[in-house]
Amino acid sequence: MPVTSSPKISVIIITYNRADLLPKAIASVLAQNYRDFELLIIDDGSNDETETFVCGLALRDERIKYFKNEFNLGISKSRNRGVLLARGEYIAMLDSDDYWLDNDKLKSQAAFLDKHAGVGLIGTAIRCEDETGRILKEDIFAVADEEIRARMLGKNQIAQSGVLYRKSAFIKAGGYDETFNIGEDYDLWLKMGRDSKFANLPEVMTAYLIHSGGITKERKFKTITATDKIIRRYKKNYPGYFQARIKSGLRLLRALYLPPRLSMVATVRKAMDKSR
């Protein structure tokens, strides 16, 4: 399919050694009923079959562009590189282990942004799955700006793989903070929200993979401490600061007392079993 000179949307997938999962993510993009997009694959130094696979697809569909980092830059720098390479007015991020469930995801979000000039970014509800495709839970986030804003410090209301945002809002906010390799998306949303409104579509349009390999206690600790740092950074911009800090402290206590390699999948399954 020929490429337009200036696509409306740039879809960006950052990947690193996920040649086994990447095809599903890409297929969900190419299945979109909205056609005016480019797909940028930013390969953060993979040494598997990623390059061969993506370059093969790019020969058949000119909307697909492949860029490989000379060496591993990390997620934040790779995301910034992707957006700076993007030609679209709107940016959609999709992690390479996630995929879109609804073929009208881009169409619905682009129509919303076209109609609501004050909205800088819009997400979707998400479904969490394990690697077998088993549904673990659904996260239905707040929809309207006022409600999203009220909840943002307590819990991120915009899913990275479900987002569509204005490139102009990204530039104004200064992009992803490259000192973060955890929570860099959450930090960007909060920066954007100081100058523009939030929105979410209520439909579950995005599937988020929870890996069965488990989350180590060290990883949990890093995630919680990064999130707590972000909460403190925006305490003057959003309501609910003290409640959010309390929740953050409780998360840290729970993480410290969990077995060192207890996986999130195992935790969710255990909770589901108990509820039966």
Residue 261 pLDDT > 70: no
* Measured distance CA(162)–CA(95) in Å, rounded: 9
23-32, 71-80, 141-150, 205-214: segment of lowest average pLDDT: 205-214
* Interacting residues of 146 by C-beta distance below 8 A, sequence separation 6+: none
> What pLDDT sits at residue 271?
42
What's the topology of domain 9-209?
Spore Coat Polysaccharide Biosynthesis Protein SpsA; Chain A (3.90.550)
> What pLDDT sits at residue 216?
60
- Write out pLDDT tens, residues 84-110: 999 999 999 999 999 999 999 999 999
| Domain limits, the chain | 9-209, 217-275
Q: Which two tokens stand for residue 219?
A: 């990883």
> What pLDDT sits at residue 99?
98
Q: Which of 133, 57, 3 is nearest to 13 (CA)?
A: 57
* Measured distance CA(157)–CA(95) in Å, rounded: 17
* Measured distance CA(2)–CA(42) in Å, rounded: 21
- Write out pLDDT tens, residues 33-67: 999 999 999 999 999 999 999 999 999 999 999 99
> What pLDDT sits at residue 42?
98
Q: pTM value?
A: 0.90
> What pLDDT sits at residue 220?
79
Residue 1 pLDDT > 50: no
* Measured distance CA(93)–CA(76) in Å, rounded: 12
Q: Are 180 and 162 in contact (CB under 8 A)?
A: no
Q: Are 101 and 206 in contact (CB under 8 A)?
A: yes
